[in-house]
Each structure stands twice: as C-alpha cells, then as structure tokens.
Amino acid sequence: MQFTKMHGLGNDFILINQLEKKISNPEQLAQKMCDRHFGVGADGLVLVLPAKKDEADFRMRIFNPDGSEPEMCGNAIRCFTKYLYERGLTEQTKIKVETLAGVIIPELIIENNKVEAVKVDMGQPRLKSQEIPMAGSEQEQVVKQPLEVDGQEYEMTAVSMGNPHCVIFVDQVDEFPVSEVGPLIEEHPLFPAKTNVEFIEVVNSGELKMRVWERGAGVTLACGTGACASTVAAILNGLTDREVVVHLLGGDLLIEWAEDNNRVYMVGPAEEVFVGEWKEQLIV
C-alpha cells in the first residue's frame, strides 16, 4: 500500500489514495502509521475517497494518532488538494471537498506551474453554544466566559469551524504551559465532544501568535481550523482587524473573516515530504 507523507507548516499527515480500494479499519491503521517510533509518524492519517454527495468532487476523512476521527482539519485539506492536483486526479484548481464538517472549497494558487499555496473557503464559523457543542445553557455567543480548570480560572471564547475550539488569550504564549493545561481543557465536561484548545497572544491588530493543543493529537506545530477559530475569537473580542497573520510554531497562515461574517478564508502552504510503501496489508 503506497502512502505519501505531506505537511502544512509542520502539521504532518499520511495520505492514502482510496478512490478504488477500501481500508477496513482506518482507526487501527492510523494508530500504527502515525506512531513516530514504530510507524511512519504523523499528526494524522488522511484518506482520499470518492464523494458521496452530488455537490462535492472528492471526500476527505482524517484520523488522529489515537484513532479518533475529527470533523475537519485546515492543514490537512491543503495537503489533500495539492495531492489531488499533482497526482493528476483532477485538473480543477478549485475543488469541492466533502468532510464531516460539510463541503469545504479549497483553491490552488499556482505560479509557474507549481502549487505555491492553497486558499480555503472554510465556511461560516458557528458561534452558538449548542453548535460547538457545549453543555449547559444555550448562548448565541460564548465570549469572555469564565472557565475553571484545576483551580485556575481562564477567560475563554468558543468557536466551531465544523470542529470545536476553545480560545484563551494569554500575555506571553511562549511561556504558557500548553501541554499541561491543554489536555485538561480538551476533556473538560463543558465540552461533551472534547475540544481543541488555542492559546493566543495578540501581537497587534494584524498579528496573532498561537500555540495549540489538538483534540486527539496533543501539541502540534500548526492547526488551520484553530487559526481560523482564533481569528474569529480575536475579532469577537475587539482585538484585531478582519485580516490577520497567525504565527504558529511551523510558520504563518493568513486568515480573513469576511465583513458579512459568512465566510472565513485561510491561505497557507502544503508540502510533499516523501512517498513510501506500508507493508502491513490492511485492505479488503
């Protein structure tokens, strides 16, 4: 079984073409292949599948290293789109991709016949507490809400980009104990489906510095949906402009929340690392 290793700002993935074949147990395969000591090593396993919906061109499924399946991943969909185009699976530069978060529309930015970046229409952010989802009372927006974790109180803003995000603004994100606080918030009872956690330092009105604890994956170098959710959260809190550069450990993403509040756009790179063959056959 051939696989391709790719990354978006260091957020790395194993991509497998499943347009004609079928993996019987992707959850188990993800746990094995994503292991950085005994497998290939990655933040997730991405399957390239035929679309089920008429309005989509392809379908993307992604599995975390623990075998769980998130609704969407912004860095993965950029890799997914570049993979389709460069493998000759599509000639389109604007592709409709079916995900568990709905149909997402990435667009390739091509210069000198080379994919330089991918712009993704991430859709409309979901702000109601039930849509995130969160337990308890129904709220139109969850902004500056107190959250107690291990005896410490934080101020959070919650956003869904098809997957849940809890955004916390801090003074100095480089010194914040992300790996300690992140998992406690991820599994907080307020979030019945668990949550991704973003810790954000506001640099200025056009820049954010972000560290992330991803649900099911832990600390990663970048998170595309997290950068989108954090930008939305910063705007809701009156901290930034509508277009923001988000600085992550793996590099930068350009995020824009349109003036009509209907669409969030993400622009960032995707890179292929290598192609390999997985010997253990888990295909039926």
Beta strands, E only, the chain: 2-8, 11-17, 44-50, 58-63, 97-99, 102-111, 114-121, 142-149, 152-160, 164-169, 196-204, 207-214, 218-220, 243-248, 251-257, 264-268, 271-277
34 catalytic residue (yes or no): no
Q: How far is CA 75 from CA 1, 220, 283, in A?
A: 23, 11, 26
Is 73 one of the catalytic residues?
Answer: yes
Which of 125, 116, 174, 129 has its CA nearest to residue 156? 129
HSE-CB at 218 with a 13 A cutoff on CA atoms is: 8
Q: How many CB atoms lie within 10 A of CB 129?
A: 20
Question: Which of these is catalytic: 79, 166, 223, 228?
Answer: 223
Handedness of CA 127, 174, 248, 48 (dihedral sign): negative
- DSSP conformational letter for 232: H
Alpha carbons 164 and 233: distance in angstroms, whole number: 13
Identify the active-site residue in 73, 79, 166, 228: 73
> Catalytic residue numbers?
73, 223
